[in-house]
A = this chain, B = another copy of it.
Amino acid sequence: MKAYLSRRYHFSASHRLNSPAYAEERNREVYGKCNNPHGHGHNYTVEVTVSGRVDPVTGMVCNLADLDAFAQKNLLERFDHTNLNELECFAYRVSTTENLSIEVYRIFAGFPGAHLERIHIEETGNNSFDYAGDG
């Protein structure tokens, strides 16, 4: 009786795409307007999918209140209303949503209440990214 639970969290952040390995001109070619020096921003939606056996007593995979408390402390307080490029996790990596997905996966892999299946991040209504670990 393995079921999947998905929960969405929302935050707003700015970023600028710029690779330290590239010269200025090459950065502009690769990232286009996402390389604008003053940055730009997004309303990000993170969907966390966890799985587990449905507990016969509670009828739940895990308690959403626990997942929400974990997300509040480890996701929203760290990322909401920030400039991603200023965060330690993007000090040496470009703040693409691919890299953001990997970082958010790393965070929720530490959630003790259920098995993490996948992170899905919507950057805009038309762009989304998934990361499901290295397995």
Contacts and interface: CB of A to CB of B under 8 A. Distances in A.
A129 to B, nearest CB: 6
B38 A82 contact: yes
Interface string A1-13: 1111111111011
A12 B30 contact: no
B57 A5 contact: no
Given A1-B134, A14-B14, A131-B3, A94 B8 contact: no
Contacts of A78: none
A113 interface: no
A54 B4 CA distance: 26
Given A4-B131, A13-B41, A54-B102, 4 more contacts: A1-B134, A6-B128, A6-B129, A14-B83
20 contacts: A3-B102, A3-B129, A5-B98, A7-B126, A9-B126, A12-B40, A19-B58, A21-B57, A32-B65, A36-B81, A38-B82, A39-B83, A40-B82, A43-B125, A54-B96, A54-B99, A59-B93, A59-B94, A59-B95, A59-B99
